[in-house]
Chains A and B, each alone.
Chain A
């Protein structure tokens, strides 16, 4: 028999509660995961087909321009993931949202990986076009600093035993970092600049021909879907890990009582 209290709370459950409650999250995320993964895979197939077989080589860079279809999505995600972490950090500090710190923790290594991939593919692309793997140019340097910030955040997560306290402290650092990123970007640009200016998002429309822009957008979407899949998987893993920990603690407590 259900108690009247249960039905009342069930009625009041809004979408916000549904994303806030770890159990609820585990329930619905299971059904989201497969479509998202299939969508990501299809987009990758489509995007890679475009990138390799249905886009022209650049008149200057030749076939190396195809590196861009991997490089730009990773660079986009390196910033998008930090923005997501900053929003999660606000969720942790302001709304005390129980899933926000799980989201923040799950995103940090993914962001670091995408940033590292952006730097790596950038180096591979820079060698044939600029003649160097690394140049202390504004955009590259600020991406490198972003990677260092990701690694610092991960190190701070790992330094704490108590993950709930770690969440709040990491959230403060994430937000301070988010405020600092534009300053770092400005200072590094002021310091040295060589990289080509932004050419996709501009007020007067993209400067790229559509046959290059299409695979680029498809690949960006594919990588973003991939991030969505990995993020949800990591969040689920984190919830399970916390449950295991609390079960272990309960078990140890019972063991201490009986002996």
Chain B
């Protein structure tokens, strides 16, 4: 479908209801809404035709991950619902509203890779809900499903962290010299997918690639769950087609509740997209890339004009520095130093005397030097994502940077 036409046709923006089509979360409602679950003969080809990418953040092609699984006949299929991203609520909502769609997807993926074990990895508060759904299915699935509680940390859903946790270790990322599709849980080939990705797979298995592509754009087909929060009237999760604009997502959230200066797109590892330009930016990989952003896990946070973008970024950087797993040197030592140095910049207008004199010279250059020192130097992408956010802040809030360097904060002055 032509994305521009698709966008024009949506005169009034309403939620699409694919993933959230069932009125209640129980098995009967699920079956009535979605019908029986077929087992596709060639899931890899089906997903390649559909063009589905992962909805956990990295947007890796779903078919390619499946095709990479070593065919040993004893693989482990994992549904990842950890959702450690503080600004995201969509995986929790999906698990609460449509757990059977996720379990269907896990079953289909497991069948395709010859899995003999399935694991659903979810926040502790959702374990009872998901366990009840597993119980409702009465062992209809071709392998046993177990529910494992995730720890409540930012990196607990990183794929090697999940595998470590399922192997009885801490939920912290591991080195990736050996890929989990070769050797993961119990040393068995492991295929791990975000829960929303699995729900899409459950629908593609039923309705086909053409149906899936009827929504979204050529390059980013289908729908996605978006968590819209910040300075909006009604913060919640929405399902929309890729190609919808950021402005339409704000409309879905009841509109902005105060003047907004920028949107954080993609979460704490995402990027700032300045307003008002953001309103017309389509949620696709191509349209967001000039801002260093990506649809990622569908996170949009509206930053009010009265706030300081540098202070808001400093707060997120403090959080991300605190969430380092303290395993990899450049991340363990670099992120706190980066956050601390960036905070000097964010608080410069309030600094006085000796501290200001010490902080001012070459502060931005030092922040950039530290960012380059940290980028791509860890077992996982936590340092990379943190640096991405920082760099986007220096770009989106460049006038604030100039202001701060001369002792003036522009918050609320726009």
Do A and B share a complex?
no
